[in-house]
Chains A and B, each alone.
Chain A
Amino acid sequence: MAELNPVAEPSHAPTPVGGVPRWLDRLITGWGLAGGVLFCAIVAMSIVSILGRKLLASPIQGDMELLQMGAAIGSAAFLPLCELYDHHIKVDALTTWMSERGRAVLDTLAHTLLLGVALLLTWRTALYMLEAHENQEVSTLLLVPLWQPVALLVPSFVLLALAALSRVNASLRVAVKGAAA
């Protein structure tokens, strides 16, 4: 199925795919949780800013910048978790007639391509970070150096690559052995 609903399945299986090292699962889950906590912090910041603006005419200065930086870091942190549990959206209606092995071959290809995209994004985002550092770009009001929030995206893409690698490994095993590991 293309899209599993996390609500329908609140139980978070301890090992997402066969053969994923426990440390990686923990790291990626923890990183995703940290992203969630960051969004809670954004919510709190927004509430304080809205109340301050409405009641005291003094919003948090740079609230929009903070929200944008936080949202970027937080949403990126969610990507590896979703890949590790294979929830990213794909069309699988057209391959239901295939054998499990046939689908595993295609999935190996799909996750390999995702791995490639993750590596490209890691590389180019890191370059952007260096570029922003060199150009001394800062945020408009708080003067936060732009390279800092950009830098915090890089670990997310590295973890996304690792998650994709685990998926490649898992699909490949099914493709080779012809049965679920």
Chain B
Amino acid sequence: QEVTIKFSHFLPPNSNFHKNVAEPWCAAIAKDSGGKLKCQMYPALQLGGTPPQLVDQVKNGVADVVWTSPSYSTGRFPRTEALELPFSLPPGGLDGSRAMWDYYQKNGVEDFKDFKVLAIFSASNVVMSTASKPILTVDGFKGVKLRSPSRFAALFLTALGGTPVNMPVAQVTESISKGVIDGAMAPWEVLPATKIDEVTKYHMEGQANQPGFTQTPMAILMNKAKYDSLAPELKAAIDKNSGQKLVDLTGKVWDDGNNDARKKMTAQGNKVLVIKPEDYAAMKKAAASVEADWIKQATAKGLDGAKLAADVRAIGAKYMPK
């Protein structure tokens, strides 16, 4: 019989994710199930709640599939947090996503035991964008107020002497243009989508073959009972389009989105600045305390924090572009 999959996420229908990941995925499962699986999309949180609650929506069966980030629910996915450690994973979408998927399979399965995991991937490295003054050295962080998108971005900024500011993403552009804050940390792709590119001039990142500042893991999750209730051939249609295949798809979509954003911004006169290796090394050194603190916290929760952190680095190194 026909099965409808309720697919819920937090971005509008014209977003990169909706058009280039969600819709193609739905088309693929429909095709591979001979039309028996079809999606009902609920973009822009139409099912209510806030982004952190998507994970409960799918756990409780309010939605069947969601796209969310484990990092929205601090504390709930303790092993997965390691993926956000500063300077640990490759900056690219595809490389970062493959690294995250490897790490998940090795260390993260326990975190997601209540879910059927379809993909864990990377929203790619965050760049620092500022309106009037580039940040190229550790000293450059002093007194600079940046909107930070996650806990680890905030910890990273604090460790380097900057000031993380927390505010809803919808207010960031206005706040930068009025000088409430000096800039923001966000992946490339987010900048034009939120018009941050119009109010900032300088965009700082590391070398392409160096780990990024920090990156946010993303997850596409399915309700476990819903998956288990499917007939074998429908399960097969889901399986065929999930896991490594979906991870690679999202990674590529993110890389494309980032490249387009970068091109658009360079063309309109925004300055992309690559931090010099010696300054980058100094930043990395200054941010080391973030990892040490995290290991302590993870250990206090009964996890082997040191090993998890080491694993992230090892897997990151494996996927680092030469």
Contact = CB atoms under 8 A, between A and B. Distances in A.
Contacts of B52: 137
Interface of A: 53, 57-59, 61-65, 131, 135-141, 143, 145
Q: Taking each of B56, B74, B144, which has the highest tally of chain A beta carbons within 10 Å of its own beta carbon?
A: B74
* Minimum-distance CB pairs A-B, first 8: A138-B75, A57-B143, A64-B166, A136-B75, A135-B76, A140-B151, A137-B76, A57-B163
B167 interface: yes
A59 B76 contact: no
Given A53-B145, A57-B143, A131-B56, A140 B74 contact: yes
B167 A64 contact: yes
B73 A62 contact: no
B237 interface: no
B63 interface: no
Interface of B: 52, 56, 73-76, 78, 143-145, 150-151, 154, 163-167
A123 B251 CA distance: 42
B47 to A, nearest CB: 16
A135 B73 CA distance: 9
A63 B74 contact: no
Contacts of A63: 166
A59 B175 CA distance: 15
Given A59-B163, A59-B165, A64-B167, A137 B75 contact: yes
A138 B163 contact: no
A53 B75 contact: no
B145 A141 contact: no
Q: Taking each of B78, B150, B163, which has the highest tally of chain A beta carbons within 10 Å of its own beta carbon?
A: B163
Given A53-B145, A57-B145, A131-B56, A143 B166 contact: no
Nearest to B149: A140
B76 A140 contact: no
B126 to A, nearest CB: 15
B143 A62 contact: no
Given A53-B145, A137-B73, A138-B74, A58 B166 contact: no
8 contacts: A57-B145, A57-B163, A62-B166, A63-B166, A135-B73, A137-B76, A141-B151, A141-B164
